[in-house]
Structure 1
Amino acid sequence: MRGLSLRQALTAIDCALGYAQQQSLPPLTIVVLDAGAHVKASASADGSGTQRYEIALGKASAALGMGFGTRTFSELVKKGTLPAEFSSAINGATHGRFIPLPGGVLIFEQGQVVGAIGISGASSNADEEVAIAAIEQCGLTAGL
């Protein structure tokens, strides 16, 4: 497996920031992880909040760790399929690196998970929309 390149990660960040600007969204922070959960690249738009990095990292980590996007996890908790305590327990076990809110999306290339992107700064729905747009603009596939 080739894995996610630095160029792909940086391009995803550029695409995310450009898309957010086109949509007139507030300043975002973006974290891109490789398949081994290592930070490949990150960036914060000017004016992004001081806790946004940790939130974006937690969203990307949650998607990668669970094997599906954070919206799916959030919906499983809302439906009662998973108890809310489960997400709290995972968040504690991962030292705060598990944020089960929309905005954490898996990155696929040729059917293989090569990483994840986490975004924070707008509404969770908008964060997810930006993540999907950035992944697709890079010619990769978003995994929800």
Structure 2
Amino acid sequence: MTIRGINLHQAQQILQQALVLSAQLRAAPLSIAILDAGGHLKAFASEDRTGIARAQIAQGKAAAALGMGFGTRKLNNLIIQGVLPEMFATCINGATNGNFVPLPGGVLIYEKGNLIGAVGISGASSDLDEKIGVRAIESCNLHAEP
């Protein structure tokens, strides 16, 4: 698998689609972060009236997905099932200065089988954050891995 970063146009398209979906679904105000495959912030938006720390949580969800190589729903399930101890997430969160959030809403982005980035969304329920991320990615003809 070749790793390359998402381009700015793709990141902006995903961001725009997530904002449209947020409005359609009447979600609580969201923060949406899109990172390239190297973990660099490529696009970001925080809707009006977004709660405190949502920006950091959104980036932390995307970073956790990239860091682990799978979506944060799977990561969260591994912790809940005891496959990964809770201390695992706590230690990584500390080592990354709080930039590791193992809650659903961090979704990997693939293009033609290649990992190109991740989206992290925070503001609604974790399930709705994830749903918006997946649908936004797929509406841009890319593959999502929640």
Q: Are residues 1:19 and 2:21 paired?
A: yes
TM superposition score normalised by structure 1 = 0.97
Offset at 1:50? 2.8
Distance 1:125 1:50 in 2: 19
> Residues 47-96 of structure 1, C-alpha deviation per residue, up to 9 Å, x if partnerless?
11231100000000000000000010100011111111100001001110
Partner residue, 1:34: 36
CA distance in 1, matches of 2:14, 2:47: 14
- Opposite residue 58 of structure 1, the aligned amino acid is G
Matches within 5 A, 1:84-99: 84-99=86-101
- Cα distance in 1 for residues equivalent to 2:32 and 2:139: 15
CA–CA distance in structure 1, aligned partners of residues 40 and 18 of structure 2: 19
Identity, in percent, stands at 53
The count of residues paired between Structure 1 and Structure 2 equals: 144
CA distance in 2, matches of 1:105, 1:135: 9
Aligned to 2:136: 134
Structure 2 alignment gaps of length 5 or more: none
Alignment map for 1:48-127 (pairs within 5 Å): 48-127=50-129
SS of the residue 1:114 aligns to = strand
Corresponding letter in the other structure for 1:126 = L
Moved over 4 A (4+): none
- State how far apart, in whole Å, the 1-side matches of 2:41 and 2:52 are: 18
Query: What are structure 1's unaligned runs of at least 5 residues?
Result: none
Q: Secondary structure at the match of 1:107?
A: strand
Query: In 1, Cα distance between the equivalents of 2:103 and 2:52?
Result: 18
1:45 corresponds in structure 2 to: 47
- TM-score in terms of structure 2 length: 0.96
Q: Deviations over 1:19-64 (max 9, x none)?
A: 0110111110000000110000100111112311000000000000
- Please state whether the residue corresponding to 1:101 is helix, strand or coil: coil
Q: Equivalent residue of 1:115, what SS?
A: strand
